A = this chain, B = another copy of it.
């Protein structure tokens, strides 16, 4: 039986291991720099950055979904699903869909105009699944990112902001 529940601080070690398992699936195992302490502080403090749902199959942890509010200047408050992952040994019984349904319910409860997430272009099973539940791919957008020294360098050259 599938159960979806809100994550609690006691789930932090589980969440950290699931984040690492997802990164391995995404072929980026070395990209996970976050610590359990950070996950705890950022998700369960006064102004949490994210919310997390845990899926259990017959009482055993099977997967998770992690999401947070974003904003669309076309439609207003929306929800971004950052991570959705089901451990390999629990796949094929609808756990992922149950998680996604629970996130959709959270979006509707908050009055979110949109629920969005990103998928790797080579992950055809995931893409097929998302299409099957009514999601639409907006394939003409590409993600740009700045981190580390490049971000610092760009920021350092900024002195024009007035209050």
Contact = CB atoms under 8 A, between A and B. Distances in A.
Interface residues of A, number: 81
B158 A102 contact: yes
Interface in A100-139: 100-102, 104-105, 107-108, 112-122, 127, 130, 133-139
A25 interface: no
Chain multiplicity (copies): 2
A1 to B, nearest CB: 9
Given A3-B162, A49-B69, A104 B74 contact: no
Interface of A: 2-6, 19, 22-23, 28, 31-34, 38-39, 42, 49-50, 53, 66, 68-77, 80, 82-83, 98, 100-102, 104-105, 107-108, 112-122, 127, 130, 133-147, 150-155, 157-158, 160-163
11 contacts: A3-B162, A34-B74, A42-B71, A70-B70, A101-B155, A108-B151, A108-B152, A116-B143, A116-B146, A122-B140, A138-B144
